[in-house]
């Protein structure tokens, strides 16, 4: 996959429609959008709704409304991940053919019980590392469980995958390029092993965040991934998947997070004030820019 040297850079904002956008999203969306404008680049909005149980149409409609209010424009059609499951499965098939995925039939409670033996082994999100329960199931056992109708997630054998990526990179280290807030580029080591054998295809939905984001950044020709620091650790795993799937390598910028008064990051699930509530209570774009501490707020007609 080659890009013409003169092609404009491509940025994206990729919210999940499982709640109303809050100030952290405003920072993220404006950050990506303004970087795209400064670079005379293109800007995509992508709806990350693979979690069909938590995604709601009303939140998708609100995303369009809130971002338009923030002054953003984006290319159409907007990619909605729930419409692209076959494409993610094709990527998963490629990983399976490389021998780096294995099925895991274990239930959440079985995994939690096995992980309790090692309570300090946690992934960067604080979830227990997969304790390897179904890592070495025999082919007969797998066939039997499938015949019984048991559902399986597909997990990456991360050590095996790293070894394969190393061979594909001719022994060069797995890295990614981070652009800092001053615009300087840094080459950083990617450490996907901190996620353990992460889920690449979920049981209940034929994709996972990691697989879909990597597939779509490539599909949309994204050259610059801008997102919050809460996703910094995920980048190592994304780079691993990109190398295995022969996908291009974007540049990354992970912006600061906005914290609530109690020091935790803002979250829809914690009911932090939504942009629409702020707007309905009379806030203007200039207020939002001031609160999220974005400099160079443009002049705005009240």
Which parts of this chain interact with ligand GLU (CB under 6 A)?
Answer: 14-16, 48, 213, 227, 231
Provide the CA 193 distance to its chain's centre, in angstroms. Answer: 17
Of 148, 63, 135, the closest CA to residue 106 belongs to 135
Q: How far is the CB of 128 from ligand GLU (least distance, A)?
A: 21
Q: What span, in angstroms and rounded, lies between the C-alpha atoms of 90 and 96?
A: 10
For ligand GLU, the closer CB: 48 or 66: 48
Q: How far is the CB of 227 from ligand GLU (least distance, A)?
A: 4
How many other C-beta atoms can be found within 10 angstroms of the C-beta atom of residue 31?
Answer: 21
How many other C-beta atoms can be found within 10 angstroms of the C-beta atom of residue 186?
Answer: 11
For ligand GLU, the closer CB: 44 or 134: 44
Give me Rg for the CA atoms of the chain: 20
Query: Residue 137: CB partners within 8 Å, gap ≥ 6?
Result: 102, 103, 105, 145
For ligand GLU, the closer CB: 49 or 104: 49
For ligand GLU, the closer CB: 22 or 134: 22
Q: How far is the CB of 147 from ligand GLU (least distance, A)?
A: 36
Q: How far is the CB of 274 from ligand GLU (least distance, A)?
A: 14
Q: How far is the CB of 240 from ligand GLU (least distance, A)?
A: 15
Q: What span, in angstroms and rounded, lies between the C-alpha atoms of 270 and 198?
A: 25
For ligand GLU, the closer CB: 14 or 104: 14
255 and 226 Cβ atoms separated by less than 8 Å: yes
For ligand GLU, the closer CB: 82 or 96: 82
Phi, psi of 24 (to 5 degrees): -60, -40
Q: How far is the CB of 252 from ligand GLU (least distance, A)?
A: 10
Q: How many angstroms separate the Cα of 21 from the Cα of each of 217, 242, 266?
A: 21, 29, 10
Q: How far apart are the first and last CA of the chain?
A: 46
Q: How far is the CB of 155 from ligand GLU (least distance, A)?
A: 20
For ligand GLU, the closer CB: 31 or 48: 48
Three-class secondary structure of residue 86 per DSSP: helix
């Amino acid at each position: 996959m080659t890009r013409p040297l003169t092609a404009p850079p491509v940025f994206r904002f990729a919210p999940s429609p499982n709640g109303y956008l809050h100030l952290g999203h405003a920072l993220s969306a404006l950050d990506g959008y303004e970087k795209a404008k400064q670079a005379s680049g293109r800007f995509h909005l992508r709806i990350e709704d693979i979690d069909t149980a938590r995604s709601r149409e009303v939140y998708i409609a609100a995303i369009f409304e809130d971002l338009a209010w923030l002054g953003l424009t984006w290319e159409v059609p907007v990619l909605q991940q729930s419409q692209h499951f076959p494409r993610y499965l094709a990527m998963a098939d490629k990983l399976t053919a490389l021998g780096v995925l294995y099925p895991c039939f274990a239930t959440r409670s079985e995994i939690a019980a096995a992980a309790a033996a090692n309570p300090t082994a946690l992934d960067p999100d604080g979830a227990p590392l997969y304790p390897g329960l179904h890592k070495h199931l025999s082919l007969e056992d797998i066939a039997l469980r499938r015949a019984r109708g048991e559902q399986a997630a597909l997990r990456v054998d991360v050590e095996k995958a790293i070894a394969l990526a190393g061979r594909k990179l001719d022994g060069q280290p797995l890295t990614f390029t981070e652009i800092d807030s001053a615009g300087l580029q840094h080459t950083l080591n990617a450490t996907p092993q901190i996620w353990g054998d992460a889920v690449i295809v979920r049981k209940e939905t034929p994709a996972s965040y990691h697989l879909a984001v990597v597939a779509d950044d490539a599909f949309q020709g994204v050259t610059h991934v801008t997102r919050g620091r809460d996703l910094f650790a995920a980048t190592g795993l994304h780079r691993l998947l990109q190398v295995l799937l022969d996908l291009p390598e974007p540049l990354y910028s992970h912006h600061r997070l906005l914290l609530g008064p109690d020091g935790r990051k803002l979250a829809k699930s914690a009911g932090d004030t939504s942009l629409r509530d702020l707007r309905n209570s009379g806030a203007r774009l200039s207020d939002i820019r001031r609160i999220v501490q974005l400099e160079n707020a443009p002049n705005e007609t009240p």
